[in-house]
A = this chain, B = another copy of it.
Amino acid sequence: MSGPVADSRDLPEPVLVIGSGLIGTSVALALRRAGLDVLLSDRDESCVLTAVEAGAGRALEPSDVPEVVIVAVPPRHAGEVLAEASERWPEATISDVTSVKHGVLVEAVARGADASRLVGGHPMAGREVSGPAAAVADLLDDRLWVVTPLPRTRVEHVRRIHRLISACGALPVEMDPQEHDAAVALVSHAPQVLSSVLAAQLAGTDEDSVRIAGQGLRDMTRIAGSNVDMWSDILSANAGPVADVLQQVASDIERAVDSLRSLAAGETGPPAAVTDLLRSGAVGRGRIPGKHGAAPSAYREVLVQIADSPGELARLFGAAGKVDVNLEDVRIEHVLGRPSGLVGLSVRPDAADALIKALMEQDFDVRG
């Protein structure tokens, strides 16, 4: 803590990561990449061994005294493990990576954790895969990592966590624990329930109905295929805020139902409530940042019809690569039946014409 500049000498170590799952092991790998001494522990010895073999650190020994402890266990165990860590290492900064913050921190304090050293955290990182074997050092690169100190948390402990997050390549964002929980309820937990509710409507329906499903339904039900136990745990831990969002959603749907029922009963004129809802939806959609934080409307989608055979996508991206244009997004529209596909390439508007020209010169079937 001597120099004015925060370099690697200022980073606290050793750091103990408790829980060698995907997120815990990825955090450990990122800390190792930054040159830190990292200790690992998990109730399951084999997970620690896998993480050690992956280069995520060394197994915790009874004589070790971590300066920082990061708890990376499921929400239902996090409060207890935070409290145990606080008691066992009375000088250490105690943090976690749980996707719910208020309840976990309240439970930790209730179980005796020292609030002055407690700094909640939640890295916004993907979860397509799980377990220590799937962990990678750059999982957290460029990701937002929410930091939720308590009113009693001492600022030196908050700073330590900020520095470790930056060392992991992530971007710290401070929020109040309850603000965080309301935000993830809105943008992550309630959408998960909605996706499942929508997909559940398909469970008992006939084959003809699901056959005519299009890309919209596919997109809206993708996350309904996620791990049931993990989500059941997350939703339980953030029950209140998720219920608040879902209550509002149900009430908005009921208004749409009333408006549609009036129309079905013969009322004439436009369905004002439904149209208003569609308009609000378009406004809300426009608020989601695009890639790199740009507004989604900042991109233009160039549609290309291609034969769905090996090499065609390669030929398409080869042609696109010859122009100095960055592809911001790619999607492929599914077609049932014979092979063929519609590929959407999103680019900045000023790059679209050059891309279209290059693709047409290569005889691609560009749809504007």
**A232-B275, A260-B240 given; A338·B285 CB < 8 A:** no
Decide if A186 is an interface residue (CB 8 Å cutoff).
yes
Inter-chain CA distance A318–B138, complex, in Å, is 24
A256, B142: Cβ atoms closer than 8 Å:
no
Which of A10-18, A64-72, A89-97, A206-214 interfaces with chain B?
Answer: A206-214
Q: A215 contacts which of B126, B243, B278 (Cβ < 8 Å)?
A: B126
Inter-chain CA distance A335–B274, complex, in Å, is 33
**A278-B196, A281-B196 given; A329·B338 CB < 8 A:** no
**A224-B282, A313-B320 given; A183·B200 CB < 8 A:** no
Q: Which residues of B contact A340 (CB under 8 A)?
A: 138, 141-142
**A220-B223, A284-B202 given; A277·B240 CB < 8 A:** no
Q: Which residues of B contact A144 (CB under 8 A)?
A: 211-212, 336-337
Question: Which residues of chain A in 189-226 are interfacial with respect to chain B, using CB atoms and an 8 Å cutoff?
Answer: 190-203, 205, 208-226
Determine which residue in A193, A200, A329, A342 has the highest number of CB atoms from chain B within 10 A of its CB, and name it. Answer: A200
Q: Which residues of B contact A194 (CB under 8 A)?
A: 194, 198, 220, 253
In the complex, residue of chain B having the shortest beta-carbon distance to the beta carbon of A221: B285
| 11 residue pairs A–B, Cβ–Cβ below 8 Å | A142-B337, A194-B198, A196-B281, A196-B282, A210-B289, A216-B222, A221-B285, A224-B285, A225-B296, A236-B260, A243-B261
Decide if A287 is an interface residue (CB 8 Å cutoff).
yes
Determine which residue in A188, A228, A309 has the highest number of CB atoms from chain B within 10 A of its CB, and name it. Answer: A228
Which residues of A pack against B, CB within 8 Å?
Answer: 124, 126, 128-129, 134, 136, 138, 141-144, 146, 171, 173, 175, 179, 182-184, 186-188, 190-203, 205, 208-226, 228, 231-232, 235-236, 239-240, 242-243, 245-250, 252-254, 256-257, 260-261, 263-264, 270-271, 274-275, 277-293, 296, 301, 303, 305, 308-311, 313-318, 320-327, 329-342, 344, 365, 367-368
B212, A274: Cβ atoms closer than 8 Å:
no
Determine which residue in A220, A320, A335 has the highest number of CB atoms from chain B within 10 A of its CB, and name it. Answer: A220
B198, A191: Cβ atoms closer than 8 Å:
yes
B292, A337: Cβ atoms closer than 8 Å:
yes
Other than A236-B263, A246-B253, give 12 A-B pairs with Cβ distance below 8 A. A129-B368, A136-B365, A183-B209, A191-B217, A198-B284, A199-B283, A210-B287, A219-B220, A221-B288, A226-B282, A228-B282, A291-B335
